[in-house]
Structure 1
Amino acid sequence: MPDTTMRTAAPARTVIPIAPAEAAEPRNRQRQRLAFQVAFFALFVFAPVFDLFRYDLDADHAWLLGMEWRLGLDEFLAGRESATVAGINIIVRLFLPLFAAAGVFLWAAWKWGRMYCGWLCPHFSVVETINKLMVRASGKPSVWERHRLPPWKVDGSPTRVDVRWWAVVVPAAIGFAFLWAVVLLTYLLPPAEVYGNLFRAELTRNQLIFISAATTVLSLEFLFARHLFCRFVCAVGLFQSLAWMANRNAMVVGFRRARASDCARCLPERQSACDAVCPMRLRPRNIKRHMFTCTQCRQCIDACGQTQNDNPNGPLLAWVKDEAARQNEAGFRAQKER
């Protein structure tokens, strides 16, 4: 629907209409997202325990939904089947399921962007948790951030920084890293063996080396390179972003540029709440290609809705898709040309 407010404000100028932002959704959307993250993190931890998905190096086969998942090569190795049958088994039991799962995953990313990252990914939930703890300790969500975040919360209350929170930040990062290391090992070895050896303090040499090395690397990553990993290293995120960028109709955070002055004043000293809350340290009002790693967590949208709660014109940010997404990008190009 064209933005009639924009045409009324500037009737003599040619303006490309941008679909108006939808009304802010209830604030419980973030609680909903948190519930999804917690549930998926629990699935990540317990999937090997219940043989929902893992590969057993000892048994040399995978487990899927409680059942053994083999490639059907035993008969071929025993000389009772031909290479042709073995090849068909590999295609049917390995490549077709993988391609089907990848196809569904990339289709979802093509349509909605990096929703998996923002709503399910167990790594991103750790990123957000440590971000919040680090903000309490230093006023910055990352040690690489040049400036502190605005000293106000979205609701206008002051943000308090206390260096004593570092006593929580570091143990939390190490604790998450240790948990990840142990869980990753259970995807490769029987969980009962790993957890049993861990609780009895009888880890084998290889198990101890794996857990120690993984904990060290992940601790450093969680403390110093969380956002860098998500933005430049994670292959899962990269392929989602590429699929998303290929679809001009894909869901994106839309911005009502005609009311940019309202946006600049949503926090004191002309600072913007949407910039402050983005866990990926992006500028949500930017053009799509500069939002390449957006995780669709909609924290910027909810922050905008809260700061503009008393504005009769409503928020400036909202999810848009299809023609509205195209017009949103056209608005950026028109602004640049002027």
Structure 2
Amino acid sequence: MSGKAARLQRRRLATRLAFFALFVLAPPLDLFRLDLTRGHFVLFGWDWTLGLEPFLRGEIGAGEVTVNLLLRGLLPIVLVVGVFFWVSWRWGRLYCGWLCPHFSVVELINGLMRRAGGRPSLWEREPLPQERPDGTRERRDRRWWWAVWPAVGGFAFLWALVLLTYLMPPAEIYGGLLRGGLGRYETVFLAAATAVFTIEFALARHLFCRYGCAVGLFQSYVWMANRRAMVVGYDRTRAEACADCLGHCEHVCPMRLKPRAIKRRMFACVQCARCIQACDETRARHGDEGLLTWVRDACALDVSWRDIGRPYVCTAPDCFLRHRDRLHGRAATWKNPSVSSGTG
């Protein structure tokens, strides 16, 4: 692994581990949870209510309760959604690839399944090549299946347990679990949620991320609306370099996408940069640079605007297309797509 790629993936691993720990520990530390027994949120140890109780007791008027609703209810929602929208607009599904605890489990189980049988999911038709991007061979052993299924079941139970602590007092849940005295409804919730997550982690991990996760779909739709947002760009002017490659960029993608495609076919990209890393390592063996890189602004239009009938060529001064003069014999004249589409 090249130094730059290694540092990038180490940073991504660090952010994912940190957020995973935060996801698990937030309820018992009273950092954030919705306590159904008390009927309100708990934020950093404080009760976060809408301030309706004084109004119901006749202590404040309609004007004050309206201000409370705006400041304690609407404003936080607008701020959170606004920040999420801005990040998605500029960088796409950055949360999914760099923070999401569910996606961390997806990648882990994908890796275990690949070690066990060469397929990152049960739906893969053929085993992936054993050759890694750096030229080494992947060692596979069917005994890894003994790690796959405990991981699937273990993370499913952990997910169900953590979600329950977001809704009920964590001390009661963990205490009851240790004593073997959980309530009836808590036990039913744990059993049902564990069963659902087990099926999802075993059969539909990346499918859920692509088509079933509301948070992920929101990011994707916002990202697709911005043609200049950061996206993985493919230097198609050097496409002949891919002739002797096994398609490592596609094999390492945890979402099972084809990174060399145009943007609309990369709808579910999580910006994990594993395809970029794989291409860099593959081309480094030939003393060359990778063909995949993150691009944005004018260069991003070559990925988002280019399509059948629109052979757009990036004309930015630092264009990532090394030999753009090969396309149609010369660099095309850039024309602002917003003139005809109304979209920037």
Q: TM-score range by the shorter chain?
A: 0.7 to 0.9
Is 2:32 the counterpart of 1:57?
no
Is 2:259 the counterpart of 1:274?
no
User: 1:171 corresponds to which residue?
Assistant: 150
Bigger drift between 54-63 and 285-294 goes to 54-63
Q: More relative contact order in 1 or in 2 (CA 8 Å, sep 6+)?
A: 1
Tell me how far apart the structure 2 counterparts of residues 166 and 310 of structure 1 sit (CA, whole Å).
32
User: 2:191 corresponds to which residue?
Assistant: 212
Tell me how far apart the structure 1 counterparts of residues 6 and 29 of structure 2 sit (CA, whole Å).
35
Q: 1:43 aligns with which of 10, 17, 22?
A: 22
Structure 1 length-normalised TM: 0.88
Could you tell me which runs of 5 or more consecutive residues in structure 1 were left unpaired when the two chains were aligned. Answer: 1-22
User: 2:119 corresponds to which residue?
Assistant: 140
After TM superposition, give the deviation of residue 160 of structure 1 in Å.
2.8
Secondary structure of the residue aligned to 1:280 is coil
Tell me how far apart the structure 2 counterparts of residues 295 and 37 of structure 1 sit (CA, whole Å).
13
Q: Relative to structure 1, is the Cα distance of residues 248 and 209 closer, same or farther in structure 2, using a 3 angstrom cutoff?
A: same
After TM superposition, give the deviation of residue 78 of structure 1 in Å.
1.8
Tell me how far apart the structure 1 counterparts of residues 306 and 217 of structure 2 sit (CA, whole Å).
26
- What letter corresponds to residue 100 of structure 2 in structure 1? C
- What letter corresponds to residue 311 of structure 2 in structure 1? A
Q: 1:66 aligns with which of 38, 45, 60?
A: 45
Bigger drift between 274-283 and 136-145 goes to 136-145
Q: Describe the superposition over 1:207-258 as per-residue Cα deviations: whole angstroms up to 9, x where unpaired.
A: 1111111111001100001011000010000010011111111000011001
Tell me how far apart the structure 2 counterparts of residues 79 and 324 of structure 1 sit (CA, whole Å).
60
Q: Describe the superposition over 1:110-136 as per-residue Cα deviations: whole angstroms up to 9, x where unpaired.
A: 000101000000000000000000111
Secondary structure of the residue aligned to 1:39 is helix
Q: Describe the superposition over 1:148-194 as per-residue Cα deviations: whole angstroms up to 9, x where unpaired.
A: 11121122222233222111111101100111111111101111111
Q: Is the 8 A contact 1:24 1:302 kept in 2?
A: no
After TM superposition, give the deviation of residue 63 of structure 1 in Å.
0.9
Secondary structure of the residue aligned to 2:47 is strand
Secondary structure of the residue aligned to 1:45 is helix
Tell me how far apart the structure 1 counterparts of residues 99 and 209 of structure 2 sit (CA, whole Å).
14
Secondary structure of the residue aligned to 2:126 is coil
Tell me how far apart the structure 1 counterparts of residues 199 and 66 of structure 2 sit (CA, whole Å).
42
Q: Is the 8 A contact 2:97 2:271 kept in 1?
A: yes
Tell me how far apart the structure 2 counterparts of residues 24 and 257 of structure 1 sit (CA, whole Å).
25
After TM superposition, give the deviation of residue 262 of structure 1 in Å.
0.9
Secondary structure of the residue aligned to 1:146 is coil
Bigger drift between 169-178 and 155-164 goes to 155-164
Q: Is the 8 A contact 2:301 2:312 kept in 1?
A: no
User: 2:302 corresponds to which residue?
Assistant: 327
- What letter corresponds to residue 54 of structure 2 in structure 1? E
- What letter corresponds to residue 39 of structure 2 in structure 1? D
Q: Relative to structure 1, is the Cα distance of residues 54 and 329 closer, same or farther in structure 2, using a 3 angstrom cutoff?
A: closer
CA RMSD of aligned residues (A): 1.9
Could you tell me which runs of 5 or more consecutive residues in structure 2 were left unpaired when the two chains were aligned. Answer: 314-326, 329-344
Q: Is the 8 A contact 1:257 1:331 kept in 2?
A: no
Q: 2:104 aligns with which of 101, 125, 141?
A: 125
- What letter corresponds to residue 334 of structure 1 in structure 2? P
Q: Is the 8 A contact 2:118 2:140 kept in 1?
A: yes
How many residues align? The count is 312
Q: Is the 8 A contact 1:173 1:223 kept in 2?
A: yes
After TM superposition, give the deviation of residue 312 of structure 1 in Å.
4.3
User: 2:81 corresponds to which residue?
Assistant: 102
Tell me how far apart the structure 1 counterparts of residues 285 and 210 of structure 2 sit (CA, whole Å).
35
User: 2:213 corresponds to which residue?
Assistant: 234
Tell me how far apart the structure 2 counterparts of residues 81 and 104 of structure 1 sit (CA, whole Å).
33
- What letter corresponds to residue 76 of structure 1 in structure 2? F
Q: Is the 8 A contact 2:262 2:306 kept in 1?
A: no
User: 1:305 corresponds to which residue?
Assistant: 280
Q: 1:246 aligns with which of 225, 231, 253?
A: 225
Secondary structure of the residue aligned to 1:210 is helix
After TM superposition, give the deviation of residue 327 of structure 1 in Å.
3.0
